[in-house]
Amino acid sequence: MSEQNITSFDLKDVRKILQNCPKESSPAVKGGQICAPKNEAMLKQEQEEAMEQPIIGYRVLDKMGSGGTAVVFKAQNIANNEIVALKLLYPGFVQDKKSLKQFVNEGMMLMRLEHPNILKGIDFGVSKGMYFIALEFVHGESLDLFLRQGFRFTEEYTFGVALQIAQALAYLESNSIVHRDIKPANILLMEESDVKLCDFAFAFESNKQDKDDGVFDVTCGTVEYISPEQARGYRDIDIRSDIYSLGITCIHMLTGHVPFSDKDPNEVMRCQIYEKINLNKIPISQHGRMILQRMVAKKREQRLLPSRLVPVLKKFLKNLSLKNTEVKK
């Protein structure tokens, strides 16, 4: 659908959508627009329209997707014409202390994070009783979309994605932040092989979070990707938990499936804690297996920190690229 043919939603339309709580994760977002000079009449008209919109200052254009507690719209900043992804908390969760606190924490965190491999927060607040986060609008799709379609990825591409996410995690590590939900659905694959990490709903600051305030979820995330310490319900998890989840994501990319799956989530968590992951069946180089082993080790002390993993991946990818070039010759 072209932007010229999109009709903006009114408050009634948006509230109707917000009454439902779809289970699908929100997809990646697209686009951008250049603003043009405006005269006084245009500015007055925009100010009037801005007040009429569900979120003051944003023209809601289309629904993009939804998650368990929030829905994402394509929207336009009326002041500068910038296209954004507008994430709104379902009104039914405003009275839920945990959900509201997570949404507020995510908004405040994204507003101050600045890294090329993290989806940027642009605006955050409350408008007409609705909590919202405005996010940058990028060309791309979630890694999960490709995996659900049966795609498998090469060793070089998989570790290339891992490198960019590891760079984002190294940045989070330097800010004492743990993401806690690294998985394909939260990784956006964009044009020119760029990658961005998104969805900080479960993220927390390990040096500030009050884990006794009733908001901190001891076990959260997606069971197929969570670390053993998350599955055990440990409260002192750190960034190495995210490294484990990234390793599981790499295995999914390489093989087309996760190491552990079951209809019973408790069984999956048991496997995450006790069952060894067989890396020998994965069709990659021995060096690649060694790196994966340092990512998905059951004991977190044996895993690489992001700041150490980044240079390891850079060196590995450089050597792998040279080797592939020699083979082609």
In the predicted structure, residue 3 carries a pLDDT above the cut 50: no
What average pLDDT does the segment 256-278 reach? 96
What average pLDDT does the segment 286-308 reach? 97
Q: Which residue has the higher pLDDT, 15 or 264?
A: 264
Coil, helix or strand at residue 58? strand
Delineate the domains of the chain, giving CATH numbers in brackets.
3-136 (3.30.200.20), 140-328 (1.10.510.10)
Q: Is 181 a catalytic residue?
A: yes
CA angle 108, 110, 116 (to 5 degrees): 160
pLDDT at residue 48, rounded to an integer: 56
Q: Which residue has the higher pLDDT, 92 or 258?
A: 258
pLDDT at residue 252, rounded to an integer: 98
In the predicted structure, residue 329 carries a pLDDT above the cut 70: no
In the predicted structure, residue 321 carries a pLDDT above the cut 70: yes
Query: Could you say which of 181, 236, 238, 242 is catalytic?
Result: 181
Question: How high does pLDDT run on average in the chain?
Answer: 84
Share of the chain above pLDDT 90, in %: 63
Q: What is the pLDDT of residues 69-123, one digit of tens each?
A: 899 999 999 989 999 999 999 988 988 988 999 999 999 999 999 999 999 999 9
What average pLDDT does the segment 173-198 reach? 94
Q: Which residue has the higher pLDDT, 273 or 48?
A: 273
pLDDT at residue 15, rounded to an integer: 53
Check: CB of residue 130 under 8 Å from CB of residue 55.
yes
Give the closest residue to 204 by CA, choosing from 212, 192, 194, 196: 212
Q: What is the pLDDT of residues 305-315, one digit of tens each?
A: 999 999 999 99
